[in-house]
Amino acid sequence: MTYSKEEKTMWLEDWRQSGKSAWTYARKNGLIPQTFVTWAKKVTKEKTGFVEIKQEQKPKLTSGIMIEKGDIKIHLPYGLSSNDLSTVIKSLRASL
């Protein structure tokens, strides 16, 4: 069965006021649950404006040393000069 935009709006508003899950509401009202859930998702997405953003995974460190102290993490690449390493250590000592 095909429903008009007005009919869909009426069903969705009644569903929101019912407090039931979309699936349960659809079954109890003789609607096809999969179709009703699709309507609900579409309207919810339009009203909220939220769009799913997938978080990129951080690349894993492939070479170097990780130093962790509390919530501080420092990655030192292999081949770091002794002068640079000394500077890092002095900075850490000064901050602790």
Total tally of structural domains belonging to the chain: 2
Within-domain flag for 78: yes
Determine, yes or no, domain membership for 53.
no
> Do 44 and 9 reside in the same domain of the chain?
yes
Q: What is the pLDDT of residue 95?
A: 62
Decide if 58 is inside a domain: no
In this structure, are 73 and 39 located in the same domain? no
- What's the pLDDT score for residue 81? 81
**Residues 69 and 44 occupy one common structural domain:** no
The answer to whether residue 56 sits within a structural domain is no
- Alpha-carbon distances of 92 from 35, 55, 82, 89, rounded to whole Å: 60, 31, 15, 5
- Tell me the pLDDT tens digit for each residue of 32-83: 999 999 988 887 666 555 555 666 666 565 678 887 777 777 788 888 788 8
55 in a domain, yes or no? Answer: no
In this structure, are 44 and 79 located in the same domain?
A: no
Copy the structure tokens of residue 14. 């009644």
Q: What is the pLDDT of residue 84?
A: 80
